[in-house]
Amino acid sequence: MTSLKSSQITAPEQILQAQRLLDAATASYAKGNYGIAMDHAAQTREFIGMVKDNRTRKASDQRLAMVSFSIPVPLRAKSNINLRREPLGSAIKLGALKKDSALTAHAYLGDWLHVQTSDERSGWVLNTLVDVRVNDSDH
């Protein structure tokens, strides 16, 4: 978290999302839910890695490659959004997702996340249109 906070190119909202995952890990650990705590800690690491990687690559390298998350990251739609076939704003829309729809990110490519919906559809969403989702019953 320290390296993420010290980065001048990281949006405050992304820091808050990483902090939410880390707080969930801490709370789960305090309650003895060690497996859940480890998952949240790993998701925090994956999320921070994505943010740092995207910012570094944008500044120096336009050759982007899809990167899979080791631990899928649970998300929710911040508003009504479109699920797209490819990681482009002009890509074909596969469907619409309602605000607060549950998603799971399995990979990223630049600022786009490859997600799966609760009804098993998969596609791409822009990372600024989603928030990390933490299950309150876990901690």
Query: Tens digits of per-residue pLDDT, 4-50?
Result: 444 444 567 778 888 887 888 888 888 988 888 888 888 888 888 88
Cα 88 to chain centroid, rounded = 17
This prediction has a pTM of: 0.71
Residue 138 has pLDDT above 50, yes or no: no
Give the integer Cα–Cα distance in Å for 98 and 94. 13
Taking domain 11-134, whether its CATH number is 2.60.40.10 is answered by: no
pLDDT at 120 over 60: yes
Please name which of 40, 45, 64 lies closest in space to residue 54, comparing C-alpha atoms. 64
* Chain centroid offset of residue 118 CA: 16
DSSP 8: T
CA 84 from centroid of its chain's CA atoms: 16
Q: Are 113 and 75 in contact (CB under 8 A)?
A: yes
Domains of the chain, by residue range, sit at 11-134
Q: Is the pLDDT of residue 73 over 80?
A: yes
What is residue 12's predicted lDDT score, i.e. its pLDDT? 76
Report the C-alpha gap between 131 and 33 in whole angstroms: 23
